[in-house]
Structure 1
Amino acid sequence: MLQRIQTLFLAIVVVGMVGMISLPIWEKIAVDANQSVQLTALRLTHTAGNSSMITPTWYLALLGALIAGVALFAIFQYKNRLLQSGLCAVNSILMTIIMGLVMYFIFGKAKKLFDVSASGDFSFGFYSLIVAMLANVLANRFIRRDEKFVRSQERMR
C-alpha cells in the first residue's frame, strides 16, 4: 500500500538526493572576494581572479542518482517488506559513502586551497543530503515496525 508513512519518507529520500545533485553543497569565499571554492555534485571549482581550476566529482552525482533510484524502487516493493528494509539498508551504506566523499572534498581538498583558518558555508545541497539520510532511517524504522506488526497478527490466528 502506497499510503504508508514509509512511502512518504522514501519519497523525501528521492527529493533530497535530487536536491543534493542539483544544488551547491559547500562554498567558501575569500575575505577580499578574490578567490572562491564551490563544491557541487559534479565539480569542485576553485576560482582565483580570472582563472579557475575544476576538479570533476561526477561520481557524487552518480551515487546520488543511484540512491534516488534505489529509494524509488523501494517505494514500490511495499508487498515485500524484508526486501524494502534491505534496500533501505543498502541506501544507508551508500549515503554513508557519499557523506564520506563530501567530507573528504571539503576538509581534505577544498579547505586547503586558500585561507585555511576560514571555514566555508554548507549550502542547500548538503542539508538535503542530511534530510535524505534522516528520512531513510525513519523509513527503515517504519518498515520494520510494519513487519513486526504483521508477524504479531499472524501469531494470533
Structure 2
Amino acid sequence: MIQRIQTLYLFFAALLTGSLFFFSLAEMANMQEYYELTWRGIFRIEQDASETLVIPGIALSILTIATTAVSFFTIFLFKKRILQIRLCGLNMGFLPGLSGLIYYMGKTGAKNLGVTDLSFNLPLILPLIALILVFLAMRAIGKDEALVRSIDRIR
C-alpha cells in the first residue's frame, strides 16, 4: 500500500541503511598507510587504489543486510499489522546496534592497526535517522490497527 505514510517511512529507512553499502564509514591513517572501514570490514588502500582486506567485518555485514532487509520486507506485510509492529520493534533494536558496531569497529580497528588518525564519516548517523523513521512508521501502523479495531467494535 503505497499511499500509507508508514510505507514511505519504512522505504526511506531502507534507503538510508541500504546506502551504507556504498559509502565509506570511517577513514584511518598513519604516516605510511591508509585504511577504510566499509560494511565488509577494514581495508588497506594501496597507492595504486587496490584494496586489501585487513580486518573482516562479518558482524557488520550481517547487521547491515538484516536492517535493510527487515525495513524493506516490512513494507509488504501491510495486511499483517501486528507482525509489522513487531518487525519494526526488532529493527529498532538492530539500528542502534548498527551505529554502535560501526563505532566499535572503527575504534578497535584503529587501536589494533596502530593508527593515529581516525575520522568517522557521515554514514555513522544514517542508522540513527533510520531509527527515527522506523519509530514513526511503528506509530502510524499502531494508529491503523487501533482504527481497524474501533471499526470492528462498532459492528
Which 4+ residue blocks in structure 1 deviate beyond 6 angstroms?
none
Q: Does 1:10 align with 2:10?
A: yes
Counterpart residue number, 2:71: 71
Superposition RMSD in Å: 2.7
**Contact between 1:23 and 1:124, CA under 8 Å: does it hold in 2?**
no
Counterpart residue number, 2:143: 145
Encode CA deviations 1:87-126: one digit per residue, 9 max, x unaligned: 11111222233223212112233256222xx5x3322432
Which stretch has the larger CA shift, 142-151 or 77-86? Answer: 142-151
TM-score by length of 2: 0.80
* DSSP-derived class of the 1:44 partner: strand
**Contact between 2:28 and 2:115, CA under 8 Å: does it hold in 1?**
no
Between the two structures, name the one with larger relative contact order (CA 8 Å, sep ≥ 6).
Answer: 1
Counterpart residue number, 1:136: 134
Q: Alpha-carbon deviation of 1:84?
A: 0.5
Q: Does 1:114 align with 2:112?
A: no
Encode CA deviations 1:63-86: one digit per residue, 9 max, x unaligned: 212222222221011111101001
Residue ranges of structure 2 left out of the alignment (5+ in a row): none
1:96-115 paired onto structure 2 within 5 Å? 96-110=96-110, 113-115=114-116
Residue ranges of structure 1 left out of the alignment (5+ in a row): none
Counterpart residue number, 2:152: 154
Whole-angstrom CA distance in 2 between matches of 1:87 and 1:29? 39
Q: Percent identity?
A: 28
Counterpart residue number, 1:125: 123
